[in-house]
Amino acid sequence: MAASKPLPPIIIKKKGGHGGHHGGAWKVAYADFVTAMMSLFIVLWLLNTSQKVQEAVGGYFKDPTGTAKLSGSSMPSSEENFVLSKNNMEDLKDQLQKAIREIPKFDELKNHIDMTVTNEGLRIELTESAAGTFFDSGSAKISSDGADLLRVLAHELGKLPNKMAMEGHTDSKPYSSGTSYGNWELSSDRANAARRLMQQSGIREDQVTQVRGFADQKLRKPDTPMDPSNRRISLIVLYLAKKAAALADAKPGAGSKEDGSDKHADHSDEKPTITPETPVGSTETPAKKKP
């Protein structure tokens, strides 16, 4: 019997395939987890910050467009019933100092900016250098540095209900003969130029009550009348009298006791009466000056 031939091997091929696509759902879940953790860390951080920071963050989320940005600031808004007095005028001074530090050339200008609390209110004086700092020399044209500073001040002061007065001052350096323009005109023109720019940049039209030009009659350094720092403009944020105190003073018999003793309240917070010593546009003829 013939030997049988071996059968050829049978190879069974199975068509394999990759498993189903897992997709990217895990990425979404992971992103949600990271977001939740970040939110948790922010909340934990806020719980350990100061009240001022918490109010600032809360103010942003209440109004991301920026109109509520004062929620975390010590500066009041014009809508608030806020009265500047000698007790809180220092707070305004500190806030303004923080704001002006943001101007581009603050380091070069800081020695020419002086803020003092006076009986009138907060006096902000911008003094000149020999070459001119805030104004071109001998001119009422505001320099770029002066414009930057005045815009920042206008933005901050425009939030207040308080009125303002503006003054212009010069040194005693005489103009050259043959010109009718002198220190009286220059001091008034500089104060008015500052007023116009600030009204375009934030303060209200009715916020400035007086613009005064003093020429060289109120020198910052009387012993050195030619000193460049005598050339300056002054912005005075005036105290705002409390309405309640004004009403009380208007009542008949207010300010007296049955025993006849004086009952007048402390009026240190009331707005003082300001009498311009030299009205703007005075026809008084000064001595001829030189630039």
Residue-by-residue DSSP string for 110-167: GGGEEEEE-SSEEEEEEE--TT-SSB-TTS-PBPHHHHHHHHHHHHHHTTS---EEEE
| pLDDT mean over 1-13 | 70
In the structure, what pLDDT confidence band is assigned to residue 144 with cuts at 50, 70 and 90? very high
pTM comes to 0.57
What pLDDT does residue 180 have?
Answer: 87
- CA pseudo-torsion sign 74, 76, 82, 85: positive
Greater model confidence, 37 or 254: 37
| pLDDT mean over 176-188 | 88
The torsion angles phi and psi of 129, rounded to 5 degrees, stand at -100, 175
Domain ranges (residues) in the chain: 82-250
Q: Sheet of 121-127: strands edge to edge?
A: 113-117, 121-127, 232-238, 164-169, 208-213
Cα separation, 118 vs 238, in Å, equals 9
What pLDDT does residue 254 have?
Answer: 42
Q: Is residue 189 scored above 90 in pLDDT?
A: yes
Beta bridge partners of 234: 125, 167
The torsion angles phi and psi of 185, rounded to 5 degrees, stand at -65, -40
Terminal CA-CA length for the chain: 139
In the structure, what pLDDT confidence band is assigned to residue 141 with cuts at 50, 70 and 90? very high
Beta bridge partners of 256: 262
Cα separation, 183 vs 194, in Å, equals 17
Q: Which of 97-101, 143-147, 281-285 is predicted with the least confidence, judged by mean pLDDT?
A: 281-285
Give buried/exposed letters for 113-143 (b at 16+ CB in 10 A, else e).
bebebeebbbbbbbbbeeebbbbeebebebb
CB 202 within 8 Å of CB 151: yes
- In a 3-state reduction of DSSP, which class is residue 217? coil
Residue 235 has a CB neighbour count (10 Å cut-off) of 25
DSSP state of 280: T
Q: Is residue 280 scored above 60 in pLDDT?
A: no
What pLDDT does residue 66 have?
Answer: 52
- In a 3-state reduction of DSSP, which class is residue 96? helix
Length of the chain: 291
Q: What is the mean pLDDT of the chain?
A: 77
The yes/no answer on whether domain 82-250 falls in CATH 3.30.1330.60 is yes
